[in-house]
């Protein structure tokens, strides 16, 4: 009896050695978001440069200790793992969207609502003062529709869509998992026939390793199937501000004096980016908060002769004010020209008035002369008739 048991144990050791060597050749699947599987445990990964909490990372454990009792029935197959059989290709879909929004909180609420609308859920989220990141999982059949709905939340800045066929990985994991379960069943049968404590301990040691490998492969397979059934949409929200670009053309009698006052007072409202001045002109560029633009404009409102305003979008709440200052004599020259033109117009009006007045004054004289001429003609006519 004892030689038979020893032979069986040798056969088991030989079989286990070959299986374990094959298991060591399995390369863990690398997650899309820079997560790495080391010996069945996922490490925390980084999203957009921010390290996420451990509680949000995926796990490859089933929740039971690996060194559980080795007696009992073989590990039952997970229903979710065995559910997808057949010839259908298994594809993992991932969409990455960057949106510019004006209100981070409101936009994040709308993105989460999209996941709920299509029967999905929020897998992970991260929020900061001027940005946010959220990972959604939606049923793969609604991936395209959900992606379009997410794009409508804000202004689209970038979009990328990728797909990965994991059919071969799933089939390979299933094959290895079935082989490990079969080995587990054989070890349980040998355990029932073990005759000594030493034999029991050795078989239990191998059985513990096999069950740990089964749990690890089940977790990997479950993770793959989840990613196949639920497509992932990663959304990055970036805050954008409506900022102003204001150009003011001003004229003053003393350019240098006005420029010094302007730099002193405007410097308290923002940052002077560029400035220069001469006797006849000066130039100043200010960066201020959008709400302070009107305060800067009030400093020179009495000197402004031209104003141009445009609205832009920016990642920071910082508007630009450009002030150009010129000497007032240019204004006086224009006023002199206008005065000369006005004087010319007035002279022409005077001539017209005089002509009209002269015409009115000559009217009685012409009337009297005409009447006298007509009387003379009538007198001559009667004289000829009398003769």
Find the helix packing angle between 143-151 and 104-117, rounded to 10°: 160
| DSSP letters for 261-329 | HHHHHHTTTEEEEEEEE-SSEEEEEEEE-GGGHHHHHHHTTTTEEEEEEEEEEESS--EEEEEEEEETH
Per-residue pLDDT tens digits for 104-135: 999 999 999 999 999 999 989 998 888 899 99
Query: What pLDDT does 378 receive?
Result: 75
- pLDDT band, residue 63 (cuts 50/70/90): very low
Examine the pLDDT at 325 and tell me if it is beyond 70: yes
Specify the higher pLDDT residue, 41 or 367.
Answer: 367
Do strands 319-327 and 241-252 pair parallel, antiparallel, or not at all (unpaired)? parallel
Query: What pLDDT does 242 receive?
Result: 85
Query: What pLDDT does 338 receive?
Result: 67
Compute the distance between CA of residue 318 and CA of residue 246 in angstroms, rounded to an integer.
12
Do strands 91-101 and 50-51 pair parallel, antiparallel, or not at all (unpaired)? unpaired
CA angle 216, 221, 223 (to 5 degrees): 95
Residue 195 tokens read as 């005759």
Query: What pLDDT does 178 receive?
Result: 95
Give the start-to-end residue ranges of the domains of the chain.
Answer: 2-38+88-239, 242-327
**Using alpha carbons only, how large is the chain's radius of gyration in Å?**
47
Compute the distance between CA of residue 33 and CA of residue 62 in angstroms, rounded to an integer.
22
- Of the CA atoms within 13 Å of residue 244, those in its CB half-sphere come to 18
Examine the pLDDT at 77 and tell me if it is beyond 80: no
Chain Cα centroid distance, residue 165: 28
Percent of the chain past pLDDT 70, that is, above it, reads: 74
Residue 111 CB-density burial (10 A; 0-12 exposed, 13-18 middle, 19+ buried): buried
Per-residue pLDDT tens digits for 149-162: 999 999 999 999 99
Examine the pLDDT at 44 and tell me if it is beyond 70: no
Specify the higher pLDDT residue, 10 or 34.
Answer: 10
For residue 386, the SS3 value is helix
Residue linked to tokens 């999209």: 114
Rounded to the nearest integer, the mean pLDDT of the chain is: 77
Alpha helices in the chain (DSSP H): 2-24, 79-82, 104-117, 143-151, 167-193, 197-229, 255-266, 293-299, 329-386
pLDDT (mean) for 368-373: 73
Residue 200 tokens read as 């029991």
Which residues make Cβ contacts (< 8 Å) with residue 57, sequence separation at least 6? 35, 42, 43, 44, 45
Residue 116 tokens read as 């709920």
Closest CA to 306 of 347, 266, 279, 334: 334
Residue 30 tokens read as 């690398």
The sheet carrying 304-314 orders its strands as 270-277, 281-288, 319-327, 241-252, 304-314
Residue linked to tokens 């969207």: 97
**Residue 139 to residues 127, 324, 387, Cα–Cα distance (Å):** 25, 59, 131
Query: What pLDDT does 62 receive?
Result: 35
- pLDDT band, residue 73 (cuts 50/70/90): low
Classify 39 in phi/psi space as left (phi over 0), alpha (psi -120 to 50) or beta. left
pTM of model > 0.75? no
Closest CA to 244 of 323, 325, 317: 317
Distance linking the first and last C-alpha atoms of the chain: 189
Query: What pLDDT does 66 receive?
Result: 34
| DSSP letters for 201-232 | HHHHHHHHHHHHHHHHHHHHHHHHHHHHHEEE
């Amino acid at each position: 009896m004892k030689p038979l048991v020893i032979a069986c144990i040798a056969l088991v050791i030989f079989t286990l050695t070959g299986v374990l060597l094959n298991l060591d050749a399995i390369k863990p699947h690398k997650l899309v978001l820079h997560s790495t599987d080391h010996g069945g445990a996922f490490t925390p990964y980084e999203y957009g440069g921010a390290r996420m909490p451990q509680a949000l990372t995926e796990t490859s454990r089933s929740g039971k200790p690996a060194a559980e009792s080795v007696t009992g029935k073989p590990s039952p197959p997970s229903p979710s793992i065995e559910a997808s059989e057949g010839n259908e290709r298994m594809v993992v879909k991932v969409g990455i969207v960057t949106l510019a929004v004006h209100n981070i909180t409101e936009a994040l609420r709308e993105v989460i609502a999209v996941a709920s609308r299509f029967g999905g859920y929020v897998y992970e989220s991260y929020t900061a003062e001027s940005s946010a990141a959220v990972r959604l999982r939606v049923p793969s059949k609604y991936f395209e529709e959900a992606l379009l709905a997410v794009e409508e939340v804000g202004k689209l800045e970038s979009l990328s869509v990728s797909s990965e066929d994991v059919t071969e990985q799933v089939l390979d994991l299933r094959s290895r998992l079935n082989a490990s379960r079969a080995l587990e069943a054989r070890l349980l049968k040998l355990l029932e026939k073990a005759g000594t404590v030493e034999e029991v301990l050795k078989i239990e040691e191998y059985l513990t390793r096999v069950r740990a490998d089964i749990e690890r492969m089940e977790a990997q397979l479950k993770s793959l199937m989840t990613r196949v059934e639920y497509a992932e949409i990663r959304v990055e929200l970036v805050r954008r501000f409506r900022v102003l670009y204001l150009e003011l053309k001003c004229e003053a009698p003393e350019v240098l004096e006005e420029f010094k006052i302007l730099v002193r007072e405007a410097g308290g409202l923002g940052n002077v980016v560029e400035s220069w001045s001469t006797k006849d002109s000066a130039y100043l560029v200010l960066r201020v908060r959008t709400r302070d633009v009107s305060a800067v404009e009030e400093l020179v409102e009495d000197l402004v002769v031209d104003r141009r305003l445009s609205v832009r979008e920016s990642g920071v709440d910082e508007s630009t004010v450009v002030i150009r200052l010129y000497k007032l004599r240019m204004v006086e020259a224009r006023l002199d020209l206008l005065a000369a033109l006005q004087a010319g117009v007035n002279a022409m009006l005077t001539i017209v008035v005089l002509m009209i007045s002269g015409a009115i004054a000559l009217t009685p004289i012409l009337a009297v002369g005409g009447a006298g001429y007509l009387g003379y003609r009538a007198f001559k006519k009667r004289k000829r008739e009398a003769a």
